Amino acid sequence: MILKAPEKNIRRYGKAEGTGYQSPEVWSKVTGKAVYGIDLNLPGMLYGKILRSPYPHARIKKVDTTAAEALPGVRAVLTGAKLESKPFGIAVEDELPLAVDRVRYIGDEVAAVAAVDLQTAVQAIKAIKVEYEELPAVCDPAEALQEGAPQLHDNFPGNVAWQRELVRGSPGDAFTGADLVVEENFTVPAIHQAYLEPISCVAVDDPYTGITLHTALQSPDAVRKIVAGVLNYPLSKVHVSGPVMGGGFGGRVYGNLKVYILSALLAIKSGSPVKIQLTREEEFTAGRPMIAAAIQMKMTVRRDGTILGREADIITDNGAYSAQAPWVSKTVSERNDSVYRIPSIKTRVRLAYTNKIPTGQYRAYGNQAANFATESLIDMAAKKLGLDPLEMRLKNCVREGDITVHGLQIGKCGLDECLKAAAKEIGWDQKKEGRGYGLSVAIHANGSLVFDKNFRGASALARLELDGRITIFTGEQDYGQGTHAAFAQIAARTLDVSPAQVTVESKETKTAPFSTGALAMRQTTIGGKAIQLAAEDLREKIFKTAAELAGAPVTMENGVMCSISGQELALAEVAYYNHSATSGLSMTGEGKFVPEESDYDESGYGNISIAYSYAAHAVEVELDKTTGALTVHRLVAAHDSGRIINHLTARGQIYGGVAQGIGMSCLEGYLFDEGRVANASLAEYKIPTALDLPEIVPIFIEIEDPAGPYGSKGLGEIVMVPVLGAVANAAADAAGVRVTGLPLSAEIIYQAISGWECEQ
Amino acid sequence: MSYLIASSLEEALTSLRDGSGKARAVAGATDLYLQEMPYGLVDLSFLKETTVIEEKEGLMSLGAAVTHALAASSPLVLSRARALAEGCAAIGSPQIRNIGTIGGNVINAAPAADAAVALVGLGAKAELVDINRETRTEAVENLYWTHNRSLVDSSKEIMVRFLIKPCLAGEGSAFTRFAARRALALPMVNAAARVKLEKGFVKEVRLVAAPARPAPTRLLKTEELVIGRPVNGETISMVEKAVAEEIEVRGSLLRCSARYRQHLVGVLVASALKTAATRAGTSGKAGD
Ligand SMILES: Cc1cc2nc3c(=O)[nH]c(=O)nc-3n(C[C@H](O)[C@H](O)[C@H](O)COP(=O)(O)OP(=O)(O)OC[C@H]3O[C@@H](n4cnc5c(N)ncnc54)[C@H](O)[C@@H]3O)c2cc1C
């Protein structure tokens, strides 16, 4: 093909500012053109369906698939006994693709079929006969840890999936002769991520390219690695091709591994593409919600309000298999400790297997559960000591230069400004009669190095296209949170072009750099830094080539190069010149961001992230004392996420995260009836509607942090964290009594006001 | 499967008769769609008789296929049967209110259906006609067979309209409900009241609450206590207690405990009565 050299077409773009830049990606969504996973339909595609256990705990005696296999239209039937697979897992290897001899929760995968249409697949599932022998089940995590409890896994005695005991400083001394000790038991139920689009996957097995999973994931590479292991395929023969994602919130980091593995196995067996799509009921009964936690916590405080130490004994409810629950339990047990100057801590956390739905991760990784407990205790202490809760927080909150009890190094930190700004905006000094007020603060890491010591950063490619546009290749995913808009802005700023000139490609693992993915609030800081570096590298290459072309050194402004002789060159000209000179190579910049090695010991003590974000929320509520009904009127969310790259999407993150925080505070939570999920629908698992939300006021305290690109830091997860403590404190202020179990339903609050014994 | 959009009541009845039990009346299908769909459906949404809202010879008439959205915004309903407007406005979401109907709400026979509770509170009667062209008029609360089962057999009988005595001077009505969230949530308790005041004292009253029995429950004993009294603070506290004693409610894992519901039912009935009385007290000649 002969390419014609471009016309001299000098266009000047506006400065790459625009902190309200709206990515053109938005338009494909709002006009209904975006193709989501559930929309996918490939030629010759079969429909997969999973047979699930109706018992919380049972032995499988016999699985008879003859009738299902004989059904016309059925193309593949899988059972655990025939698969001969090894256990796999995310944090702990305790799962099989299909149960072999035992099922451990209502929803456990027992068999899978693929058929020409969904009805036939459903019929085939019904035609499979399974003989079970019921076993005693244990559904309460505290009971599961007791001696004599039914055991779930032979290699995890005592039903302990994971545990940790940690002492830092000298908690014993801190508690002896203390001025004040406050202590409480807090409970947080299991929470579903409630993304709008149920998880689906179309798996294609091709003899040449291998397996392709058409499914939207926050961490496609992490999933691909596990799936390749289970299928026993080479890693380069397992790809993920991502359609548009209908919400993730942590629920699509690893998504639903069973869905990907089983659709792949069915595709291999049948020789056709296979789609498995979870129903909403399956999402609620066999998804991966966030763990429920029971947190027994006490804090010791000096008379003047200085926190001297805190102790916690935490039991988290793993469900039948582990997924990410060990990591989430770890965050519950420690992250929140670093928001205050606490010299001594003692923590025990135990993750218990129960015969219930397995658990995964949710936005903020459990930091919000710990926030609920700690921030409640702070207010309890302030009340007992007659101190202003604002003053007590200002007295104890971390500041730049601090090293926290877990060894986090506090760099740029606007936490006290956040507190002051939130308090001022809510009217802390002019409280309205009949209203309750609450405050809460949070810290959250920008990507944890503990996650994978050997893979702590990110990389990216920036390619100059022949038409002068820029394409960024990254493995960092955008599922609505706006990272691609921010990435375009970062690259545009580095290259001095308009963000509209930049396209971000992340959906194909075949071409995208390997990445940890959209989790742990690492994308803008770590992924964005790699993009900045790639763009810088490209910029250098462009300068070099342009100088060659112009025969003199060049400068660049607004996407236009200018030689000292005054000759102007468009990016497209430079691209074309390079294209001719190299017979078709593109000019590509490489960015690799590897955060410096930092020390952390066996116990996890050390600076586990390159930067931390901070927040303070203030809430105003009203309580109807005749019913216990709580109305959250206003929530002020003050955040230090460094320099904000895009205020439009940043505000969006706050609105969405606060909405989820309100849901978790006031409405949401799994209800179980002996292992059976009682509220397995969006009608009964109540997330807030627009009418249930307060006025949300975002405030940005923009303190540049040199760690991230252009002084920016992460925001996506921390937005949810302080909501829980702030709402709980405001509710307690309004009610005069404190509720320590979430959600703060009207009934629970009314019970507390009227001094009823808890009935539920 | 057949679907007929009936163009006359006559055609609808004939079609149901021809269906010999396999065809069924349908309006918004918001409930029916969630159940097993019958072989034949006869859509009553476009008939004059089932969609009209009018007041004639001192009686309000509301078609059974009037949607919740229409009832909630009808000036006539708002001024003469406010409880119904409030009940309908509380249902589901805008989408549900735009297609769900008050007749369907009664015949679906959910124990705490919002329009049904308001209708019983107002003392509404339903007019029905069967495939043999026989008509009957029944008090709404008498149309319930058991939990979630109506006495109306929609394969043989069509509910045409509701008849309601409008609230005129000295009369008022109100509806209250309590749910876990502000939209798309079935109530833990709902209640309706209709009251007529004479010189500030209660002359006539109807108090209704749900869910307790299959049908919205009249609180006859409490009504008796209220007759002849002014609706003041003392009466309101008395009603709260009397209601909680008169009615027995159950608890459920999904909604709330029995004890809390018992408390709520008193609070909600009393609050409906209070609002209805305020409206009665301030109502001019045109009703509340
Ligand atoms: C998401 C959602 C939320 C909801 N929220 C609420 C709520 O908050 N409160 C509440 O009370 N309800 C609620 N509902 C229930 C429902 O919307 C109402 O009961 C509605 O009023 C039913 O009316 P319809 O016209 O849709 O009935 P349909 O579904 O059309 O019919 C219901 C039944 O009545 C019969 N039928 C209907 N009209 C006639 C007639 N004229 N003559 C004879 N038979 C007839 C049908 O055969 C069927 O058996 C909700 C429903 C959904 C789906």
Position A12 pLDDT exceeds 60: no
Task: Look at residue A639 and give its three-state secondary structure.
Answer: strand
pLDDT for A6: 45
Smallest CA–CA distance from A679 into chain B, residue = B254
Residue A277 forms beta bridges with which residues?
A200
Q: How far is A689 from chain B (nearest CA, A)?
A: 7
Distance from C-alpha of A216 to C-alpha of A255, rounded to nearest angstrom: 9
Q: Scan residues 172-191 of B and list those with Cβ closer than 8 Å to A.
A: 178, 180-185
pLDDT, averaged across chain A: 94
Distance from C-alpha of A45 to C-alpha of A412, rounded to nearest angstrom: 53
A722, containing H or E segment: helix A721-735
Q: pLDDT tens digit string along A213-250?
A: 999 999 999 999 999 999 999 999 999 999 999 999 99
Mean pLDDT of A456-485: 94
pLDDT for A17: 46
Q: pLDDT tens digit string along A591-627?
A: 999 988 677 888 989 999 999 999 999 999 999 999 9
Q: What angle do CA B260, B261, B262 make, to 5 degrees?
A: 90
Q: Which of B5, B13, B41, B101 to mutate to test the pocket of ligand 1 (most atoms within 8 A of CB)?
A: B101
> Helix-strand-coil percent breakdown of chain A, rounded to 5?
30, 25, 40
Q: Is A280 on the interface with B (CB under 8 A)?
A: no
Residues of chain A with CATH 3.30.365.10: 292-450+601-754, 457-593
pLDDT for A738: 97
Cβ distance A751 to B260 less than 8 Å, yes or no, reads yes
- On whether the CB atoms of residues B260 and A747 are closer than 8 A, the answer is yes
Q: Which of B26, B43, B51 to mutate to test the pocket of ligand 1 (most atoms within 8 A of CB)?
A: B26
Distance from C-alpha of A516 to C-alpha of A505, rounded to nearest angstrom: 16
Mean pLDDT of A5-9: 45
Residue B106 forms beta bridges with which residues?
none
- Higher-confidence position of A4 and B117: B117
A457-593 has CATH 3.40.190.10 classification: no
Residues contacting A464, CB < 8 A, separation 6+: A470, A538, A541, A542, A571, A574, A575, A578, A586, A587, A588
Task: Take atom 41 of ligand 1 and give the residue whose Cα is closest.
Answer: B159
Pull the structure tokens for residue A231: 């299928």
Q: pLDDT tens digit string along A506-550?
A: 999 999 999 998 888 889 999 999 999 999 999 999 999 999 999
Q: Is A688 on the interface with B (CB under 8 A)?
A: yes
d(CA A279, ligand 1 centre) in Å: 24
Pull the structure tokens for residue A300: 């010791």
Position A394 pLDDT exceeds 90: yes
Residues of chain A with CATH 3.90.1170.50: 37-135+198-245+252-286
Smallest CA–CA distance from A688 into chain B, residue = B181
Look up residue A132 and give its amino acid: Y
Look up residue A264 and give its amino acid: A
Reported as a pLDDT band with limits 50, 70 and 90, residue A480 is: confident
Tens digit of pLDDT at every position of chain B (288 positions): 899 999 999 999 999 999 999 999 999 999 999 998 899 999 999 999 999 999 999 999 999 999 999 999 999 999 999 999 999 999 999 999 999 999 999 999 999 999 999 999 999 999 999 999 999 999 999 999 999 999 999 999 999 999 999 999 999 999 999 999 999 999 999 999 999 999 999 999 999 999 999 999 999 999 999 999 999 999 999 999 999 999 999 999 999 999 999 999 999 999 999 999 999 987 644 334
Whether the CB of B113 sits within 6 Å of ligand 1: yes
Q: How many CA atoms lie within 13 A of B93 on its CB side?
A: 9
pLDDT for B105: 98
Task: Look at residue A198 and give its three-state secondary structure.
Answer: coil
Reported as a pLDDT band with limits 50, 70 and 90, residue A753 is: very high
Position A8 pLDDT exceeds 70: no
The ipTM estimated for the assembled molecules is 0.94
Domain ranges of chain B: 171-280
Q: How far is B55 from chain A (nearest CA, A)?
A: 35
DSSP structure string for A404-455: -TT--B--S--HHHHHHHHHHHHTTTSPPTT-EEEEEEEEEESS-TTS-TT-
pLDDT for A758: 53
Distance from C-alpha of B130 to C-alpha of B133, rounded to nearest angstrom: 5
Q: How far is A623 from chain B (nearest CA, A)?
A: 14
At how many degrees (to 10) do helices A257-270 and A220-231 cross?
50
- On whether the CB atoms of residues A132 and A101 are closer than 8 A, the answer is no
d(CA A102, ligand 1 centre) in Å: 43
Position A391 pLDDT exceeds 80: yes
Question: What is the C-alpha end-to-end distance of chain B, expressed in Å?
Answer: 47
* CB neighbourhood size of A397 (10 A): 20
Cβ distance B257 to A683 less than 8 Å, yes or no, reads no
Q: pLDDT tens digit string along A645-676?
A: 999 999 999 999 999 999 999 999 999 999 99
Q: What proportion of chain A, given as a percentage, has pLDDT over 70?
A: 97
Q: pLDDT tens digit string along A341-368?
A: 999 999 999 999 999 999 999 999 999 9
Reported as a pLDDT band with limits 50, 70 and 90, residue A13 is: very low
* CATH code, B171-280: 3.30.390.50
Q: Is B48 on the interface with A (CB under 8 A)?
A: no
Phi/psi zone of residue A365: left (φ > 0), alpha (ψ -120 to 50 degrees), beta? Answer: left
Reported as a pLDDT band with limits 50, 70 and 90, residue A7 is: very low
Distance from C-alpha of B44 to C-alpha of A275, rounded to nearest angstrom: 40
Reported as a pLDDT band with limits 50, 70 and 90, residue A395 is: very high
Of A604, A640, A605, the closest CA to residue A400 belongs to: A640
pLDDT for A588: 98
Class of domain A292-450+601-754: alpha beta
d(CA B29, ligand 1 centre) in Å: 6
Residue with tokens 């097993």: B36
Position A15 pLDDT exceeds 70: no
Q: Is B199 on the interface with A (CB under 8 A)?
A: no
Mean pLDDT of A156-162: 97
Fold of A37-135+198-245+252-286: Aldehyde Oxidoreductase; domain 3 (3.90.1170)
pTM of the prediction?
0.95
Q: Is B34 on the interface with A (CB under 8 A)?
A: no
pLDDT for B287: 38
Reported as a pLDDT band with limits 50, 70 and 90, residue A279 is: very high
